[in-house]
Amino acid sequence: MQSYEVKIKVPHEVVLNLHKSPGEAAEDIRRQAAIRYYKKRALSLGKAADLAGMSRFEFIDYLRFNDEAVFQYTDEELEEIKRDAAEIEKIIT
């Protein structure tokens, strides 16, 4: 897989306030970006996990650790799931 190196400048005071080394801060920023892109549906779970430098299972745990939903459905998708569940309920009862 081809990769790109992306550099950002973070003020020294920000790194100090995070109480992390510059490397730890960079990793945290990358992982938080992965969460944001996943939440906005810009990246799939697998691609967000790649950006975070984690396996899918590790990223799922990281989402949970950060109180983020693992699976995100739109209102329309939830309605479709409810309709399907109601149909299945009719069939099995």
pTM assigned to the model: 0.73
Tell me the domain boundaries of the chain.
12-92
Q: In this predicted structure, what is the pLDDT of residue 50?
A: 96
Task: Average pLDDT across each block of 10 residues of the chain; the chain has 93 residues. List them in order.
Answer: 86 92 93 95 94 95 92 81 89 87
Q: In this predicted structure, what is the pLDDT of residue 79?
A: 86
Question: Of 51, 21, 10, 22, nearest to 34 (Cα)?
Answer: 51
Q: In this predicted structure, what is the pLDDT of residue 40?
A: 92
Q: Max alpha carbon distance in the chain (Å)?
A: 64
CA-atom Rg of the chain in angstroms = 19
